[in-house]
Structure 1
Amino acid sequence: MALSTIFSALDLRDGFYQILMRESDIPLTAVSTPSGMIWEWLVMPQGLKNAPATFNRCVTHLLRSVRSRAPSYFDDVFIHSRGVDGKSEVEMHKEHIRKSFAVMRKHKHYANLKKRIFGAGEIPVLGCLVGKNGVRPDPGKVRVINEWPSPSNVKELRQFLGLAMYLYKYVSNYAGKDRPLSQLLKKDAAWV
């Protein structure tokens, strides 16, 4: 996404339910209801041990032809573009979106248009904001950390440190700044 100047984010609709079960595996999903009916899943149900990995692998494989401009993570697709060869960033971005939608349509994977962002200067990606100026922390998450009450015991301190770890990528020498609080986690540490 480096050097890109315009971004879009898509959420695939119905996630696991877009993956058809292998014919031989359908009987293995049978469930008997109290009324005596037997139901079998024709699509991959949620809750199976390997369902997330299978779904992610499927989406990654289906979108491989557009991966350089539309990487995916599970049910999220991030499309990014920049102007090249005399075409504006918007023209290139529309082209990348069209190609991504064509691949998705071909494989019968559809986007949830209620959870989409088109042509933005910045999009949320895995808890961070990614834009033409790089990656930055989500201001909402930073606000929660700033407003967190002061810990008064080890359990509360662990909770705070776990939350604050979100910022380690963005704070230089995070470990050094974190050390005084981490020292309080030791068994014989004195709380003032």
Structure 2
Amino acid sequence: ILELLKKEELYAKFSKFEFWIPKLQFLGHVIDSQGIHVDPAKIESVKDWASRKSPTEIRQFLGLAGYYQRFIEGFSKIATPMTKLTQRKVKFEWGDKQEAAFQLLRQKLCSAPILVLPEGSEDFI
């Protein structure tokens, strides 16, 4: 990185650099030697969320869950019953399908897998 900065004639303030840190928080994710994790601090509040009571609350939940959708296999399919309730001409009726989707998304967010970083020595296909 330092060589690239020098080559491009860019300058960095070394007091703002951190080298050899084992773990980094970045945009709601935790990155370490194992891979990319969901930031536990961001997900902690999801554990206590009650079922959504309005289209606005559903949008808020889906916004957070959607940010982490790459950690949730089948996210779009799971979220469909809730997404339909956010449409303008659809009457808001929270039923068993929506509750099941909400609980499943919440459970998957709280137990999200680690996304492994690619091996840099191999070619990408």
TM-score bracket for the superposition, by shorter chain length: 0.5 to 0.7
Give 1:18's aligned residue: none
RMSD across aligned positions (CA): 2.8
Whether 2:12 is the aligned partner of 1:109: answer: yes
Q: 1:122 aligns to what?
A: 23
Match of 1:174 in 2: 75
Please state which structure has a larger fraction of its residues in strand.
Answer: 1
Task: Tell me if structure 2 keeps the 8 A contact 1:148–1:160.
Answer: no
Deviation track 1:37-93 (CA, whole Å, cap 9, x = no partner) reads xxxxxxxxxxxxxxxxxxxxxxxxxxxxx3xxxxxxxxxxxxxxxxxxxxxxxxxxx
Matched residues, percent identical? Answer: 23
Q: Which runs of 4+ in 1 moved over 4 A?
A: none
* Residue identity in the other structure for 1:145: V
Structure 1 position 163 matched with structure 2 position 64: yes
Q: Is the 8 A contact 1:117 1:123 kept in 2?
A: no
Gaps of 5+ in 1: 1-65, 67-98
- Among candidates 151, 163, 171, match of residue 52 of structure 2: 151
* 1:10-54 per-position Cα deviation (integer Å, ceiling 9, x unaligned): xxxxxxxxxxxxxxxxxxxxxxxxxxxxxxxxxxxxxxxxxxxxx
Matched residue SS, 1:119: coil
Task: Give 3-state SS (helix, strand or coil) of 2:56's partner.
Answer: helix
**Higher helix proportion, which one?**
2
| Structure 2 residues not aligned, in runs of 5+ | 96-125
C-alpha distance in 1 between matches for 2:11 and 2:34: 34
The structure whose RCO (Cα within 8 Å, separation 6+) is larger is: 2
Structure number with bigger Rg: 1
Change (3 A) 1:108 1:156: same
Aligned residues: 92
**Do the aligned partners of 2:24 and 2:31 also contact (CA within 8 Å) in 1?**
yes
- What TM-score do you get using the length of structure 1 for normalisation? 0.40
Opposite residue 44 of structure 2, the aligned amino acid is R
Distance 1:189 1:128 in 2: 33
Q: Distance in 2 between matches of 1:137 and 1:180?
A: 24
Closer, same or farther: CA 185–125 of 1 in aligned 2, 3 Å = same
* Aligned mates of 1:143, 1:111 — CA distance in 2: 34
- 1:6-45 counterparts in 2 under 5 A? none
